[in-house]
Amino acid sequence: MPGLIRGVARTAVVAGTATAVSNRVSRRQAGRWAAQEEPPQQQAPQPTYAAPPPAPAPAPASAGMDAKIAQLTQLAALRDQGVLSPAEFETQKAQILAG
């Protein structure tokens, strides 16, 4: 009889442990599935950049070089901030220097 009780007790312990593990796995899977079903959180809107300001009207010859330098400095700042790509910067620079 003691062997029978020991066997039943051992079976009860194994069954209880298996049930506990199974329940934990089920809860974990349910949590993962619920997380996948939730709608994705809204992402922050991408920043929009304004176009560079239009070139000012042509100035007298003496002030012309100062105006071009100011425009080139402003373009360089926009390029450094990431508003203009290097190709856009070169295009605008060529227009300023040609004008």
- 74: nearest Cα among 89, 59, 95: 89
Report which DSSP code applies to 41. Answer: P
pLDDT along the chain (99 residues), means of 10: 75 79 84 75 65 63 76 88 87 86
Across 18-39, b (16+ Cβ under 10 Å) vs e yields eeeeeeeeeeeeeeeeeeeeee
* pLDDT score for 4: 76
Res 38: pLDDT: 65
pLDDT at 29: 87
Q: How many CB atoms lie within 10 A of CB 70?
A: 13
